[in-house]
Chain A
Amino acid sequence: MTEILLAAAAAALLSLDSVHVGQVMVSRPVCVGPVVGWFLGDVSTGFVVGALVELVWISVLPIGPYTPPDSSVAAAVAVSLAIPWGGGAAAGAAGIAFGIPFGLAARRVDVRLRHSLTERSEAVSADLIAGRPAPLGEAVVFGLAGTAAKTLLLVLAAGLLGRIAAPVAEAILGIAGIARGLAWGAALLPFVGLAALTDLLEIRHHRVPFLLGAVAAAALVLLG
């Protein structure tokens, strides 16, 4: 229980970086994954699951008013499910399958938070116009606290449910076909991210460098 709480608290702290503080990328799944994994006792699974979640929404960008899915929450949830379910490729893929809906749910909370902040922003402006002391600090604290609480509660809930469901999950993942199938799924996931990245980098304008890279790597592999 303590380790789940600590992992959720660490994820909450890191998630502030995604929009609110700094944006130095410690909220990215590649970072959140191993940190949550460390608190739960399996850094390796954290690294692998974090990297796979990073690739899921690698081409989804926080541009303008668009609120993207919360990849920090998705990664933290995926890792906090994968580890009690046995770790490894199959549990990792299962964790990601359940983590993605949490990332999408977190986006809905973000949208509500941002609407609430609009009201607070208007209140600050109204106070400034009226010459009253404006609660600027309160609005900032509200934004930070809201985001941290959202991540903490979602990751904590997922971690606890993951523990409760662990016997069932381990029994299902113990079925050879399902374990192998999920391991195949994990092996195919990187290609979703790589394909999305080619589109983001405008492969339609730069086909030659991509093909040159592929040919160079193939030649190196063939030459051993």
Chain B
Amino acid sequence: MNRVERIEIFLRSLLLQAAWSYGGMQNLGFLLAIDPALRRLHRGHALEAARRRHAAYFNTHPYFAGYALGVAVRMEEDLAAGRESNPKMIGLVKNRMAGPLAALGDSLFWETLRPLFSLSAVAAALLAPGNLRAGLLGLGAFLLAFNLPALGERWRGIRRGYLYGLGVIDVLKSLDLPGAIRRARRWGLFGVGVLSVVFVVAAPAPGISGVSAAVLAAVRATALAAALLAVGRKVSPTRIVYAALGLGLVLGIGGGV
């Protein structure tokens, strides 16, 4: 795989979920991404057979799919060169990798980095409402901080998967991503602790006047405690949002605060 092909596979991998379905999940996106390599390696019936292989069910985390793509290209090369004799191995390996890669990606990107980095945009918008520069800086910080590792992993994954083949799993293990995730969550919770206090005592409250800072902080602290309790009991976020809006209306209309 040369650099031009790698770039083409990377760009196509951005469409990995363009035709996501319940049946094949990312199968068509995977086929679309790997097709340049298949066209280089196979001709005629062999190309048709290769396309059929990659149209089979596949699903992993989109940012870690590059690893599976790289490994699959490497195995297709081995098959075309006669170093691998069983084409079924390619699908088997791809799908065996998919689960652990998905677990890593979900845990790192969806459960940790995305919500944490998005707080920069949220905090800028809510703590400095009306300040467009702050809003843009917060949003820019979120997009930059998230996409550097996300796009980097998509690009690196193709290269690492191709270079190391099946050994890429050991490479990933050596990176100790679960340890990095734990550390990120600890720091993230420190930040959430800071923001919770800032929102309770210092966030602007547009549209609320004639209320002392102490009462405002007390109501907010109560709301935070109630939300923590509700979340702990697995109440749906949508219900909690409407409960918060309802409580606000009770305070505004009934409570006269």
Does residue A200 face the partner (Cβ distance < 8 Å to B)? Answer: yes
Known A-B contacts A63-B106, A213-B189, A214-B197; the reply to A182 vs B249 at CB < 8 A is yes
Q: Which of A33-59 contact B (CB under 8 A)?
A: 33-34, 43-44, 47-48, 50-52, 54-59
Does residue B24 face the partner (Cβ distance < 8 Å to A)? Answer: yes
Does residue A181 face the partner (Cβ distance < 8 Å to B)? Answer: yes
CB-based A-B contact count at 8 angstroms: 330
Docked pose: A210 CA to B230 CA in angstroms: 18
Q: Which residues of the other chain, A, contact B194 by a CB distance below 8 angstroms? A: 213-214, 216-217
Is the CB–CB distance between B252 and A179 below 8 Å? yes
- Among residues of B, the one whose C-beta sits closest to the C-beta of A63 is B106
Is the CB–CB distance between B21 and A114 below 8 Å? yes
Question: 1/0 per residue A83-106: CB within 8 Å of B?
Answer: 000001110010011001000100
Known A-B contacts A20-B17, A65-B22; the reply to A136 vs B249 at CB < 8 A is no
Docked pose: A120 CA to B24 CA in angstroms: 10
Q: B23, B31, B142, B242: which contacts A136 (Cβ < 8 A)?
A: B31
Does residue A128 face the partner (Cβ distance < 8 Å to B)? Answer: yes
Does residue B238 face the partner (Cβ distance < 8 Å to A)? Answer: yes
Q: Which residues of the other chain, B, contact A47 by a CB distance below 8 angstroms? A: 124-125, 129, 132, 135, 139
- Stretch from A7-15, A21-29, A151-159, A163-171 that touches the partner: A21-29
Is the CB–CB distance between A25 and B19 below 8 Å? no
Does residue B4 face the partner (Cβ distance < 8 Å to A)? Answer: no
Docked pose: A64 CA to B103 CA in angstroms: 10
B residues adjacent to A (C-beta < 8 A): 14-15, 17-25, 27-29, 31-32, 48, 51-52, 55-56, 59, 62-63, 102, 106, 110-112, 114-116, 118-119, 121-122, 124-126, 129-130, 132, 135, 138-139, 142-143, 146-147, 150-151, 185-199, 201-203, 205-208, 216, 219-220, 223-224, 227-228, 230-232, 237-238, 240-242, 244-253, 256-257
Given contacts A58-B237, A221-B197, 18 further A-B contacts (CB under 8 A): A25-B146, A30-B118, A30-B122, A43-B132, A44-B135, A47-B129, A63-B110, A89-B208, A114-B21, A140-B18, A177-B252, A182-B249, A183-B207, A187-B216, A187-B248, A189-B245, A212-B193, A217-B197
The 5 closest A-B pairs by CB, nearest first: A213-B193, A181-B252, A183-B207, A185-B248, A184-B248
